[in-house]
Every structure is written in structure tokens, then in C-alpha cells.
Structure 1
Amino acid sequence: MKKEILLVGGSSGIGFKIAKNISQTHNVTVASRNAGNLDELNVRHLKFDVHHDNIEEMDLPEKLHGLVYCPGSISLKPFKMHRLEDFRKEMELNFFGLVKTVQAVMPRLRSAEEASLVFFSTVAVKVGMPFHTSISAAKGAIEGFAKSLAAEYAPGLRVNVIAPSLTDTPLSEKLLNTEKKIESMKARHPLKRIGQVSDIANLAQFLLSDESGWITGQVMGIDGGLSTLNLS
């Protein structure tokens, strides 16, 4: 029997690649604002805006074996230029939207007896980086939430977080729009390249699978060595 997987925000970038990877082996529902190129895949699309819609009202499977929450943002600027509202916006999309989603689908996850939840953070939570105050605050909340949730719902639910460094997605387009920027970003990483959507999606696919059945409560860095290696 195929597992039922819900991807929130999977119409482009990493989410789309996850959907593509698992669509042949699982029943995949993608809830996102637009369908993008999802018609190319064997998935079901539900029009959904995490800010305004209630996912409980969506036509979801009675049981969910996996949940991936993909919505995110990259808002980088000096702290002195931030308003409190900027922090609220980051929290609303990255954290409160996640909490609202998890609360709404929790009965369906628990009905599956064993389910895997995958969230996304950033390397900037572990490694302090300038201009990342708002996004690091929101993603840091996700990491703490995930660990507590994993403890509370073990062994029925596994909860893990992927913390990437800069990845070549539509979201990071402005950071990678010149050769000079690309080369500079590559040089920051010990592996001397920028992350690709397949790097992140492959890990998410693994965390959804039974092969990761003894992994929970983890924040997994996939960042070209940036968070742990100092080559200077």
C-alpha cells in the first residue's frame, strides 16, 4: 500500500523536487498557492494559502504517513533596518503557519500509527551570520518546536528538521544573479559549491522513508560543511 504524503508548498524549488522524487512510490498531495508545473507529475494539487486558508477544510486523506512543510523566505538586511513587523511576517510564514498546519493534520498523522514530519530551518541558526536576525529567529523557533514535538509524540511520530545552507532555488535568485555572487558563495563552503535542490530533496525523501526509521528529533545540516568545518 502506498503511503499518503502531504507537501505544503511544493509547487517549485525544493518542494517540487521532493514531490517529483516520491510521486512514483507514494500518493502525494501538494497544497500550495499555485500548481506551477505539478501537472507534469503524478500528484494531486490543492489550492492553499497558508496565510488565509484552513487546511482542515481541504480534501485530505484520512491518514497521513508524512508531512513536509516547505514555505519559507529569505529576508536579509541589517537589524537596524528591520521593523518589528518584519519579524512578525517571518514568524507568520515560517513558524506560525507550520504550527497551524501541524495542529490541523495531527489527527490524520496519528491515525497512520507511524508518520514522519519534515521541516526546514537554515544553517544560520547554528552559525551566527550578519543580516539574518529575522529569518534565524523564525527558523530557530522551528528547531525548538520540532524537538519538543518529537519527544511528545514518540514513538508514533518522527519529527526532523533539515537545515540547508544557500541552495540554488527561485527563492535565492537575487543572491545568485551574477557570476561574482555565485563564485563568492561557493568559496564560503568547504565543498566549494552551492547546494542544489536535489541535495535537499534527497535528504527529505530519506527522512520520509522507513530507512530513516530510527531517526527523530534531529536537525540535520546539509550545508557543504559550512556549519562544522573551518578550513582557514
Structure 2
Amino acid sequence: MKNYLIVGASSGIGKSLANKLAKSGHQVFGTYNENQVEAESSNISYSHLNVMDDDLDLNFLPEKLDGVAYCPGSINLKPFARIKPEAFVEDFNLQVVGAVKVLQAVASRLKASENASVVLFSTVAVQLGFNFHTQVAASKGAIEGLTRSLAAEWAPTIRVNAIAPSITDTPLASKLLGSDEKKEANAQRHPLKKIGSPEDIAEMATFLLSDQSSWMSGQVLHVDGGMSSIK
């Protein structure tokens, strides 16, 4: 049994990942901010955490962590001319600074493990230029830089990888997938002709957190229906 911290485990990918790890017999410490949920397993405990706070209270965690997945994010798609600079800062604070604060706070717990792993989340939009994606791609581009640099600094004791999905059917993407017509239109944009599910991404995150990926670090893995590599 291993100990995992899943930040943002109340819905979407984070919730799916927490349940998957718990079903495998691991102890999961999940966090929520606004949407408190009931644990679906005795192996999951939920605690409130607002990553935007200056001081994070992580006293609910054990002395050793075997892995961390940082799942909070946002999808704000607007023409560049309509985005206020403050909006870029808000996204950066949530998606990058929040991850930095959490990882700095739990570094000693990760180092107590024999083979700890960190999973962060980017987006296919970092490598492919999409209209109206400047706000989300800017923050997620920083996540990819953080992934590679931190992987170098924390090697060999802690591995750091990222997943770059395409659009996934989660509450976060509900505005973009709010009807069957929108879901089908988005599915047709992908070579595999479907949109991703939280389980698709959670499967990869589970692999990266496990010892099965023990020779992988500093990678940004695309789970995107083939969008980034197939025309």
C-alpha cells in the first residue's frame, strides 16, 4: 500500500484517479475546494484545501508520500484582445504557483519514499496552436517547463512527469461539451473520432504514479486522441 495526495480530487480526472488508486488498495488523501464529496472507498479521505491561500495546511498528510497528482485547472477560451492581463495571472496562480506551493510543502514527505512520483497536467494546446487558447496555453506551457526542470533537480529520488490531454469530458469542460452536438463536433476533430474520458487520463496518471514507470521522468505524455501526432 502506498500513500498518494491527489489535489483536486472532488471531480473529473482527480476523482477518477483517486477512486482508481483506492481500488488498488492504496491510501489516498484527496483535497477539494468548493465541491465537497463523499468518499467512495474507505481508502480515500478528503480534506479542504484552497491552493490560492498563502499558507497551506497539510497536517492531514502522513510523514511519507509516494506520489502527488496536482489536478486543479481552468479552461478559459477567449480572443486575446478580450483577455485582461489579470486573468493570465489568476490562471498562473491556480495552475502553476499552486502546484509549486504544494510540491514545496510536501517535498520532505516525497523524499521519505523510496520511489516517489509527481504528476502534473498540461494540455495539447501548448504544442499545437489553437485559436482563443492563449490564456490556458500560457499557464500550461509553464507547467511543462516546471516538469522538466524539477525532474532534473529532484532526480534520482523523485520522478516528475506531466500529461497533456486534449479535451476531456469533465465538469471543467462542460461549457464546451454541453450538448450531444458539441460532443460530436469535438470528437470529429480527433483522429480517433472521440473525446477523452476522465478514466482515459486517470489510467495514464496511475501508471506514472506507479513503480511501472520507474524509469521515466521529465516526460510530457500526450493522451489526446491522436491530435498532436496524426493528421
Does the alignment pair 1:38 with 2:38?
yes
Whether the 8 Å contact between 1:56 and 1:105 is mirrored in structure 2 is no
Deviation per CA, 1:153-188, whole angstroms, max 9, x where unpaired? 111011000000000000111101122211210110
SS of structure 1 residue aligned to 2:75 = coil
1:149 maps to what in 2?
150
1:90 maps to what in 2?
91
Deviation at 1:67, TM superposition (A): 0.3
- Letter of the 1:89 partner, please give it: E
Whether the 8 Å contact between 2:70 and 2:121 is mirrored in structure 1 is yes
Q: Unaligned regions of 5+ residues in structure 2, if any?
A: none
1:213 maps to what in 2?
214
Aligned equivalents of 2:156, 2:19: Cα separation in 1: 28
Deviation at 1:52, TM superposition (A): 1.8
Q: Unaligned regions of 5+ residues in structure 1, if any?
A: none
Aligned equivalents of 1:121, 1:132: Cα separation in 2: 13
Aligned equivalents of 1:101, 1:63: Cα separation in 2: 15
Whether the 8 Å contact between 2:164 and 2:223 is mirrored in structure 1 is yes
Aligned equivalents of 1:35, 1:77: Cα separation in 2: 26
Whether the 8 Å contact between 1:46 and 1:58 is mirrored in structure 2 is no
Aligned equivalents of 1:53, 1:11: Cα separation in 2: 22
Structure with the higher fraction of residues in helix conformation: 1
Deviation at 1:58, TM superposition (A): 2.7
2:180 maps to what in 1?
179
SS of structure 2 residue aligned to 1:23 = helix
- Letter of the 1:147 partner, please give it: R
SS of structure 1 residue aligned to 2:31 = strand
Aligned equivalents of 1:202, 1:105: Cα separation in 2: 24
1:9 maps to what in 2?
8
Please report the TM-score for the alignment, with normalisation by the length of structure 2.
0.96
Deviation at 1:113, TM superposition (A): 3.2
- Letter of the 1:97 partner, please give it: G
Whether the 8 Å contact between 1:125 and 1:136 is mirrored in structure 2 is yes
1:132 maps to what in 2?
133
- Letter of the 1:215 partner, please give it: M
Deviation at 1:111, TM superposition (A): 1.4
- Letter of the 1:55 partner, please give it: L
Aligned equivalents of 1:181, 1:215: Cα separation in 2: 36
**C-alpha RMSD over aligned residues:** 1.2
- Letter of the 1:41 partner, please give it: S
Deviation at 1:41, TM superposition (A): 2.2
Corresponding pairs, count: 229
SS of structure 1 residue aligned to 2:196 = coil
Aligned equivalents of 1:159, 1:131: Cα separation in 2: 29
Identity %: 49
Aligned equivalents of 1:202, 1:124: Cα separation in 2: 21
Deviation at 1:34, TM superposition (A): 4.6
2:82 maps to what in 1?
81
SS of structure 2 residue aligned to 1:14 = helix
The 1:54/1:38 distance shift into structure 2, 3 A limit, reads farther
